Amino acid sequence: MRAEGVTRTPAVRTAVVWDALRAELAALAEAAGRDRLDIVDAGGGTGGFAVPLAELGHTVTVVDPSPDSLAALERRAKETGVGVRALQGDAADLGELLDRDSADLVLCHSVLEYVEDPIGALTAVARLLRGGGAVSVLTANPVASAIHRALAGHFDEARAVLADPRGSWGDRDPTPRRYTSRALAELLTATGFVAGEIHGVRVFADLVPSRLVDGEPGAADALVALEQAASTHPVLRDLATQLHALGRRS
């Protein structure tokens, strides 16, 4: 499946994640001996990942604290002609909302930055997974935040990001914490996962003006190819806006 969006730009921004997910879905399906997998999207919001996964034929449950987001998810799923189960709750509620050992894959995208207890949240995810199951984690990267604050002229905030253990630039920062690639790998290991390769997501996509991507024939595809090459580059990966990792339940 190719990751699609409403416009080409969102597809560019998520292409690296979809590449990793496609490969993991194929591996999980082969190991399970079935094509239809049970997937939980923790904090899945309006279904940007959940609905395309359901289109592939998987059974998808979205857990999100926002009733408005879940309502938008249900409308989106209906318009697409797929079924997605929607449950209201936080990542910490996963153990109460869903059965243990009931999922093959759990998505935890843009969640660990905001939960009070990241270790507790990932531990709850691990309990949902069957043996050999996987978690897909997508988190904000402090190095990129420092770059973006500096480009906006907020040099003190950029320096604060680099000095703060949580990767926050101050009290007004809407993101409570961010993760370096090392911190993300350590978090996965601490919660019982075998961490796979970490990829950088949106190395260039957030720096390139959308008019250059949308207005130039072939530019979106070229940018996707560049993002794919940069996602594992030993230097560029750690400059990405987000970091993506897959962890296997050991």
Note whether residue 217 is domain-resident: yes
> Containing domain of residue 88, as a range?
8-141+179-249
pLDDT at residue number 228: 97
pLDDT at residue number 212: 87
All residues at 6 or more sequence positions from 108 whose CB lies less than 8 Å from its CB, including other chains: 42, 43, 91, 121, 122, 125, 135, 136, 137, 138
Strand partners, 59: 38
Looking at the structure, tell me whether residues 170 and 192 fall in a common domain.
no
pLDDT tens track for 10-46: 588 999 999 999 999 999 999 999 999 999 999 999 9
Identify the CATH number of the domain in which residue 206 sits.
3.40.50.150
Note whether residue 98 is domain-resident: yes
Note whether residue 13 is domain-resident: yes
pLDDT at residue number 182: 96
Note whether residue 3 is domain-resident: no
pLDDT at residue number 10: 59
The residue out of 155, 178, 201 marking a domain boundary is: 178
pLDDT at residue number 45: 94
Looking at the structure, tell me whether residues 24 and 49 fall in a common domain.
yes
Note whether residue 1 is domain-resident: no
Looking at the structure, tell me whether residues 171 and 223 fall in a common domain.
no
Looking at the structure, tell me whether residues 135 and 147 fall in a common domain.
no
Looking at the structure, tell me whether residues 42 and 130 fall in a common domain.
yes
Note whether residue 75 is domain-resident: yes
Looking at the structure, tell me whether residues 94 and 60 fall in a common domain.
yes
Looking at the structure, tell me whether residues 136 and 19 fall in a common domain.
yes
Looking at the structure, tell me whether residues 73 and 119 fall in a common domain.
yes
Note whether residue 2 is domain-resident: no
The residue out of 150, 178, 206 marking a domain boundary is: 178
Looking at the structure, tell me whether residues 38 and 149 fall in a common domain.
no
Looking at the structure, tell me whether residues 45 and 153 fall in a common domain.
no
Determine if residue 193 is left, alpha or beta; phi over 0 gives left, psi from -120 to 50 gives alpha, anything else beta. Answer: beta
Looking at the structure, tell me whether residues 38 and 14 fall in a common domain.
yes
Looking at the structure, tell me whether residues 108 and 193 fall in a common domain.
yes
Phi/psi at 201 (nearest 5 deg)? Answer: -120, 130
C-alpha 125/C-alpha 85 separation (Å) is 17
The residue out of 178, 202, 235 marking a domain boundary is: 178
State how many domains the chain has. 2
| Cα 86 versus chain centre, distance | 18
Give 10-residue mean pLDDT values along the chain (250 residues): 42 94 97 96 96 97 97 97 96 91 97 95 95 97 97 98 96 96 97 96 93 87 96 96 95
All residues at 6 or more sequence positions from 72 whose CB lies less than 8 Å from its CB, including other chains: 45, 46, 47
